[in-house]
Amino acid sequence: MMAIKEYTNDEVTVVWQPSLCIHSAKCVHGLGKVFDPNRKPWIDVSQATSEAIVEQVNKCPSGALSIKKQENTSMKTESVKVQLMSGGPLIIKGHCEVLDEEGHTQTKQSVAFCRCTKSANFPYCDGSHKNLGTVE
């Protein structure tokens, strides 16, 4: 079972799934006061507004970071966007369902699919392509 950690400030809950992280560091560079890998715990949602946190989490290319909707909180729905990263994964941003070989469905808000086939977390990207050079 994948480890999942949650961090909340009563307005917003950040969900972190470490096994999905491709270490792009967009979170750290975009909102370093909240996302600091040198601190334990590395996510501190008290360091920024809920709006800023949601905006930054939505930039996570792999879906390792996501927002859990709170009751009584309205979150706008977004269209699904697909991005082919040069030399990297296929990124799907927006609500989607992933059906595995055994017929199990996982609901994702954002996901990075491996294209190099070297991921230890296949079909999801784990950043292994960085050691290979170019991915077609």
In order of 6, 37, 82, the CA distances from 92 in angstroms are 22, 25, 5
The per-residue pLDDT for 136 is 57
Q: pTM, whole model, 2 decimals?
A: 0.59
Return all residues near 91 (Cβ < 8 A) that are at least 6 apart.
61, 62, 82, 83, 84, 85, 110, 111, 112, 113
Domain spans of the chain?
5-68, 81-131
Domain formed by 5-68, architecture: 2-Layer Sandwich (3.30)
What is the residue whose two structure tokens read 């009751």? 71
How far is CA 37 from each of CA 2, 11, 22, rounded to the nearest angstrom? 20, 23, 14
Greatest Cα pair distance in the chain: 46
User: Average pLDDT, stretch 95-124?
Assistant: 86
53 vs 132, more confident: 53
In terms of Cβ atoms closer than 10 Å to its own Cβ (0-12, 13-18, 19+), residue 112 is buried
Q: Is the pLDDT of residue 75 over 60?
A: no
